[in-house]
Amino acid sequence: MQAVLITGVGKGIGKALAQKFLQEGFFVIGTFLTGRPEPQESLKDFSLDLSSSASIASCVQAITNFGRTLDVLVNCAGVLLDEDEVATVPEKLRQTLEVNLVGVVDFTERLIPLMKEGGHIVNISSTAGSLALTGEHASHFEGRYPAYKISKAALNMYTATLAKRLAPAVTVSSVHPGWVKTDMGGQDADLTPEQAAEGIYGVAMSRPATGGFWFAGQRVPW
């Protein structure tokens, strides 16, 4: 049985993605900060706070001790702390980067030894972090949440650099999930978490060229 590790399975996209992988016959290792998932066969969960290096170290050690190697790692957990901000607020930027970038990097680097050859690391990013698309978002998004955008642009660079380092053994991708009806995306969003999960799963399973940025099977400009 193939194994996937997904962060943030307690709610939203992560929860839907865990269910999708379970339906497809994967063993799912999930992490949660709040909203612990209900016990299920073929699912093992671990507590994780990406803002805490101690929590990351403890979680990775527990996962390592669990004894499974990974076919897929999906870094799904993240935060949006400056939704209504236009100016970059330094403290919110620090807090955002700690979770969306530093925590993801720390967690991923510690897990690389568990990745199987031919595996896939998927970083859930956003077109909000695309430099090429700056100024092309809908008016109600443009100019808002700069800390979040900065964090996703930086995460994309991590994808690009990690892809070169791990090639050809492991594929590394950034994926834009779409505008999704979650606590972060709000109820006016275009997609349900289940629809977003379908798109992410499709990219994860397609094993595309490493170092790409994807949405719904199509490349997204950096």
Rounded Cα distance between 10 and 31, Å, is: 8
Superfamily name with CATH number, domain 3-219: NAD(P)-binding Rossmann-like Domain (3.40.50.720)
Q: How does pLDDT run across 91-121, given as a tens digit for each residue? A: 999 999 999 999 999 999 999 999 999 999 9
For residue 106, count CB atoms less than 10 angstroms from its CB and return exposed for 0-12, middle for 13-18, buried for 19 or more.
middle
Residue 193, preceding peptide bond in cis (omega within 30° of 0): no
Task: Please state the domain extents for the chain.
Answer: 3-219
Identify the pLDDT of residue 14: 95
Percent share of the chain, pLDDT over 70: 92
Rounded Cα distance between 157 and 152, Å, is: 9
Identify the pLDDT of residue 106: 98
Rounded Cα distance between 168 and 94, Å, is: 33
Contact 137, 127 (CB under 8 A): yes
What pairs with residue 219 in β-bridges?
214
Identify the pLDDT of residue 48: 98
Identify the pLDDT of residue 140: 43
Residue 135's pLDDT band (cuts 50, 70, 90): low
